[in-house]
A and B are shown apart, each in its own frame.
Chain A
Amino acid sequence: MSDDARRPVLARRARLRWDAPRSRHVVVVPEGVLALTEEGAEITALLDGQRSLRAVIDAVAGAHPEAPRGLVEADVREFVERLVERGYVTLETP
């Protein structure tokens, strides 16, 4: 469970923004963009280095009381993990 206390933070070289002409949120990275779903954008906005991974899951679950908690948790973990793998998110130890 110690992993859940770690605080995911979007790397400085990766920036979340609204991409108006294409009506989507994106993470802009060197030489590319990661197109996000609405849920992805919602999660990414929480990766501020202040919240723990547990707190991020809680916040997303809280915003979607209709969704099964287990599903939200799995989605958030997978999403964050993919960004960590690609080096766009780091997990900081509190």
Chain B
Amino acid sequence: MTEAPVALLAELTYRCPLRCAYCSNPTNWRDYGDELDTDGWTRVLREAGELGVLHVHFSGGEPLLRDDLEALVRAARDAGLYTNLITSAWHLTHERLSALADAGLDHVQVSLQDSDAGRADRIAGTTVHAHKLEAARWVKPLGMALSVNAVLHQQNLPFVGEIIALAESLGAQRLELANTQWHGSALVHRDALLPDRETLASARSIALAERQRLRGKMDVIWVIPDWYEDSPKPCMDGWGRRSMTVIPDGTVLPCPGAHGLPGMVWDSVRSRPLGDIWRGGEDFQRYRGTDWMSPTCASCDRRELDFGGCRCQAFALTGDAARTDPACARSPDHHLVTSLRRERPVAAAEPDVALYRIDIRRGRRAS
């Protein structure tokens, strides 16, 4: 029998006033503009609760762009879910955050692009850093938990110590140091964002030392840069195993990147109940468990630890989503990753992401 999922990632909209160079949303985000309405999301949340989901993560894009966010938080709480808002805090007011707390919001995760406003705003493509700090400080006094998330790349890795200190000064209970994953816009901007091994190694040792120092005060999570590891990341803890993603138009996916895989016919909550999709959706089954695995994975003692890694990355690099993630040292395609690594800092001046940034993210409520 299929296990019940524990988490729902609810990507309410792909619209976003920020244009972070590392964004993992699909670059064709406009194709998903027919967003579920309040009733549609309310039904998704109710069905998720019935299915056994414990956590809902409201994300996007920028979920604050949904005027019905308060109603959706309430609906999630009515369904028994623990509610998390993943936000840039763009234009978030104290009044709105209070209303969200009143609606039952449990946890707020604010993104920081860097420790310094100039660098942070350059990566975000808009002026937002100073306001984030103000908004983050409102979270705990309103009775909610605060996490900070910082996506790491070549340009901010040298400042990881400052980023950690900033999150600590905000009183965050968790800090996710998430090394960039190479999907969506991040892949487009790879030349500007890809770290070199030396920069990564010093950032990592700072992060691990700080994690020790901050034990019991702030959980510091280091999300591995999988291109520089021997084992792949256990993507989503396994395909269709613990988590499901509903994207803005109501399509249900095993992970937020799966719509990039070819030849799949995904179900939508508009035409099929969530539980039915989870248990019986054809493409939900495709990479579930271990039966689909290549001989490399099927014979591996880590097959139920990392689940063959990331299907989307396997497809992006090899053209076949069923192959072992090339980030794995045991993959026959591992050279595809090792050949992309940078061993030392690039001698030339760093490419400016502002030159690379393409205007993919301007939403209806453009800033």
Contact = CB atoms under 8 A, between A and B. Distances in A.
A28 B82 contact: yes
Nearest to A18: B80
B4 A15 contact: no
Interface of A: 12-13, 15, 17, 19-22, 26, 28-31, 33, 85-87
B222 to A, nearest CB: 14
A69 to B, nearest CB: 30
B144 interface: yes
B106 interface: yes
B55 interface: yes
Given A17-B80, A21-B4, A28 B145 contact: no
B145 A85 contact: no
A86 B55 CA distance: 19
Nearest to B221: A31
A85 B216 contact: yes
B52 A19 contact: yes
Contacts of B54: 17, 19, 26, 28, 33
A24 to B, nearest CB: 11
Contacts of B188: none
The 6 closest A-B pairs by CB, nearest first: A21-B52, A21-B4, A13-B145, A28-B82, A30-B107, A30-B145
B174 interface: yes
Contacts of B51: 21
Nearest to B101: A12
B154 interface: no
Interface string B147-159: 1000000000000
Contacts of A29: 82, 145
Contacts, number: 46
A20 B52 contact: yes
12 contacts: A12-B144, A13-B173, A15-B82, A15-B106, A17-B80, A21-B51, A26-B54, A30-B82, A30-B173, A30-B174, A31-B107, A31-B174
A22 B55 CA distance: 15
Nearest to A32: B55
- Scoring A13, A17, A30 by chain B CB atoms within 10 A of each residue's CB, the highest score goes to A30
A33 B80 CA distance: 14
B351 interface: no
B6 interface: yes
A30 B3 CA distance: 21
Interface in B101-152: 106-107, 143-145, 147
Nearest to A87: B173
Interface in B73-90: 80, 82, 84
Contacts of B173: 13, 30, 87
A31 B55 contact: yes
Contacts of A17: 54, 80
Nearest to B144: A13
Contacts of B82: 15, 28-30
Contacts of A20: 52
B97 to A, nearest CB: 15
A13 B216 CA distance: 16
Contact of A30 (B4, B6, B147): B147
Given A30-B84, A30-B107, A86-B216, 10 more contacts: A15-B82, A17-B54, A19-B54, A20-B52, A21-B3, A21-B4, A22-B4, A30-B145, A31-B174, A33-B6
A21 B143 CA distance: 29
A44 to B, nearest CB: 15
A29 B51 CA distance: 19
Contacts of B106: 12-13, 15, 30
Nearest to B215: A85
A22 B107 CA distance: 24
A30 B145 CA distance: 7
Given A13-B106, A17-B80, A87-B173, A31 B52 contact: no
